[in-house]
């Protein structure tokens, strides 16, 4: 089987030429990763390469990144040579960062040739560790999540290996905000001072600042893990998760992180919020922006995806004899209306 055919089968929702042009481990880290560590998974372009450098310096652990280039706008071979040189001259990258290259033709800033969700899957698939944490390149991991796992390894690994996820709360700056005035806190106490002063706030995409399922008010006083109680299928936090247990991101979407987490939640996975760790969101690189038209399609497709996943997981849990168990609590809570109106009698009367 040729490399192109193999990659196109692994990423079957992607354009053949884009999938076939992938080069796993185009740049390979010289320092082997420990199997029980956490790999930071992310995606970048030549335009956001500097963000990867900052991210790797702060993470101080293994990183698996998909680098997506487009020959007509990225300068082709010369740009890649510059990146290769920059990588070799930066020990933080050369020792710990694996770079998987994707080259696709065209001028579009984001297209269905290789969706961002497929890039996330690629970076995750080639990670060497049991656990991964997917994070956008414009984030800064302000605390040492890897040390937190080490300090609580037995308990946390039990959760992760059963399909649960550890949420790393994200905080950002109110807009508008001058770049020169960004001050990143590295301790929870300092962060809370900035939140109290209105200079920072909790960021859950699709919710207003300081709103959303992560629950700022509960996190402020938390000293132990707590479960997310008001989950919504748009919820897309930064999470530490098992590389092997979690479902893969649905690649029908251009860029929909919530789709990467929704299936696992319906299967019974729980979101546990870390009480002392957090990440800081800096201004996003606008190179990958979905057009208004594509965004409308994404939203409509995701609404259908919600119905589809509800029925799929409800039937699976019922077939396994788990419909009356705690494992099906999430699907029964989220999908009661869907199950009641689609496929009546399929799994019995909804509860």
**What are the sequence ranges of the domains in the chain?**
1-141, 144-229+269-283, 292-351
At 350, the pLDDT band (50, 70, 90 cuts) reads: very low
Is residue 160 within 8 Å of 242, Cβ to Cβ?
yes
Question: How high is the pLDDT of residue 32?
Answer: 93
Closest CA to 219 of 227, 230, 231: 227
At 297, the pLDDT band (50, 70, 90 cuts) reads: confident
At 255, the pLDDT band (50, 70, 90 cuts) reads: confident
Asked which of 67-81, 127-141, 251-265, 274-288 is least confident by mean pLDDT, the reply is 67-81
In angstroms, rounded to a whole number, what is the distance separating the alpha carbons of residues 115 and 18? 10
Question: How high is the pLDDT of residue 25?
Answer: 95
pLDDT digit string (tens) for 151-173? Answer: 999 999 999 999 999 999 999 99
Closest CA to 274 of 145, 146, 132: 145
Does the structure show a pLDDT above 70 at 281? yes
Is residue 100 within 8 Å of 229, Cβ to Cβ?
no
Question: How high is the pLDDT of residue 68?
Answer: 87
Percent of the chain with pLDDT over 90: 59
Is residue 261 within 8 Å of 239, Cβ to Cβ?
yes
Does the structure show a pLDDT above 90 at 195? yes
In angstroms, rounded to a whole number, what is the distance separating the alpha carbons of residues 298 and 283? 23
């Amino acid at each position: 089987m040729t490399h192109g055919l193999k990659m196109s089968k692994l990423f079957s929702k992607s354009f053949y030429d884009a999938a076939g042009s992938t080069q796993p481990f185009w740049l390979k880290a010289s320092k082997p990763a420990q199997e029980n560590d956490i790999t930071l998974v992310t995606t970048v372009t030549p335009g956001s390469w500097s963000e990867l450098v900052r991210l790797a310096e702060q993470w101080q652990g293994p990183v698996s990144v998909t680098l997506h280039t487009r020959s007509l706008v990225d300068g082709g071979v010369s740009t890649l040579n510059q990146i290769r040189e920059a990588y070799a001259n930066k020990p933080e990258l050369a020792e710990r960062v694996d770079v998987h290259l994707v080259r696709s033709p065209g001028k579009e800033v984001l297209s269905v040739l290789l969706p961002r969700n497929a890039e996330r899957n690629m970076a995750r698939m080639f990670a060497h560790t049991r656990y991964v944490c997917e994070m956008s390149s414009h984030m800064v991991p302000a605390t040492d999540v890897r040390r937190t796992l080490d300090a609580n390894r037995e308990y946390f690994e039990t959760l992760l290996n059963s399909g649960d996820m550890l949420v790393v709360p994200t905080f950002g700056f109110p807009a508008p905000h001058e770049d020169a005035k960004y001050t990143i806190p590295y301790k929870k106490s300092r962060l809370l001072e900035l939140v109290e002063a209105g200079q920072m706030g909790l960021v859950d995409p699709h919710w207003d600042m300081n709103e959303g399922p992560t629950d700022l008010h509960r996190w402020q006083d938390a000293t132990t893990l707590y479960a997310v109680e008001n989950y919504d299928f748009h919820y897309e936090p930064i999470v530490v998760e098992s590389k092997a247990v979690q479902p893969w991101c649905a690649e029908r979407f251009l860029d929909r992180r919530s789709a990467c987490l929704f299936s696992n939640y319906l299967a019974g996975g729980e979101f546990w919020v870390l009480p002392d760790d957090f990440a800081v969101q800096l201004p996003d690189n606008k190179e990958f922006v979905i057009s208004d038209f594509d965004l409308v399609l994404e939203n409509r497709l995701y609404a259908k995806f919600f119905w589809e996943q509800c029925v799929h997981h409800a039937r699976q849990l019922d077939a396994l004899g788990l419909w009356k168990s705690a494992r099906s609590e999430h699907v029964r809570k989220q999908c009661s209306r869907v199950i009641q109106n689609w496929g009546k009698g399929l799994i019995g009367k909804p509860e």
